[in-house]
Amino acid sequence: MKKQQPQISEEKILEASWELLGEDGIEKFSLRRLADRLGIQAPSLYWYFKSKQKLYQRLANQVSKIILEEFHSEGDWKEQLTGLAAAIRSVLSRYPCSTQLMMMTLPHEPDIIRFTNKMLLCVEDTPLAQEQKMQVVTTLMNYVFNFVLDHYQHERNVSAILKEQAELPGDEMIRLLDSMSEEEAGLFRRMFDSGLFELMGTDRAFEFGLKLILLGIEQVIQEQGQQEEQKR
């Protein structure tokens, strides 16, 4: 009796993709491994996705859709950008490798376009020029993406070190700093000893970085307003 092929769908493919990404990261992800997870032959996946890049596009589109569902655009442009940044960070933190996927794909999916359009709407009422508005959302996205990616990679690095050796990464750092002079590493050592580096990846660090960006945007708006006044 011929063995029946498992029933698959795009939804099941996406779900299995997230599972694989969470287990081994995007570096080891492949359509062959995905097919094995689904219990099918690799060519069967091509009925749904013509290439791994097409699958990545759809995963990024799914992330964009969830961000749109969780973001509520209320208040002035600063409040909207703050809420948007928080929503992006929250969703990216829940979906493994989603930051890489967003950075690796083009806006060739409907929800990615809607997501980008929503970001632009946050600053549409500001007096900034159109190219400046695009730069604002690009800067904000790059900040959130790299914040989430840095925290994700740090956790992976620590986990990998702990698998290879019983010693904690902090103990190795202490020995290294003790071998360096005050001129070479004095300030770094004092920051390390006071626990400041433990703030990396925290809400406090995220909010401070976001505040710097918003203050910078506000400063640009104020300077342009002053320039306009001087011209009159």
The answer for residues whose C-beta is within 8 angstroms of residue 151's C-beta and 6 or more apart is 93, 200, 201
Which letter, b or e, does each residue of 34-60 get, where b requires 16 or more Cβ atoms within 10 Å of its Cβ?
A: bbebbebeeeebeeebeeeeebbbbbb
What's the CA gap between 94 and 155, in Å, rounded?
Answer: 14
Residue 23 maps to a domain: yes
Residue 38 maps to a domain: yes
Residue 229 maps to a domain: no
* Token pair of 161 as six digits: 């070190």
| Domain extent at residue 43 | 8-50
* Token pair of 112 as six digits: 């990615």
Domain count along the chain:
1
Tens of pLDDT along the chain (232 residues)? 445 556 789 999 999 999 999 998 999 999 999 999 999 998 899 999 999 999 999 999 999 999 999 998 889 999 999 999 999 999 999 999 999 999 999 888 999 999 999 999 999 999 999 999 999 999 999 999 999 999 888 787 777 766 776 555 677 778 888 898 988 888 888 888 887 777 888 999 999 999 999 999 999 999 998 888 887 7
Alpha helices per DSSP H over the chain: 10-24, 31-38, 52-70, 77-94, 98-104, 110-122, 130-164, 169-178, 182-193, 203-231
38: domain CATH number? 1.10.10.60
Note whether 123 and 77 are within 8 A (CB): yes
Residue 133 maps to a domain: no
Residue 12 maps to a domain: yes
Position of tokens 């990545």? Answer: 56
Residue 31 maps to a domain: yes
Note whether 75 and 23 are within 8 A (CB): no
Residue 218 maps to a domain: no
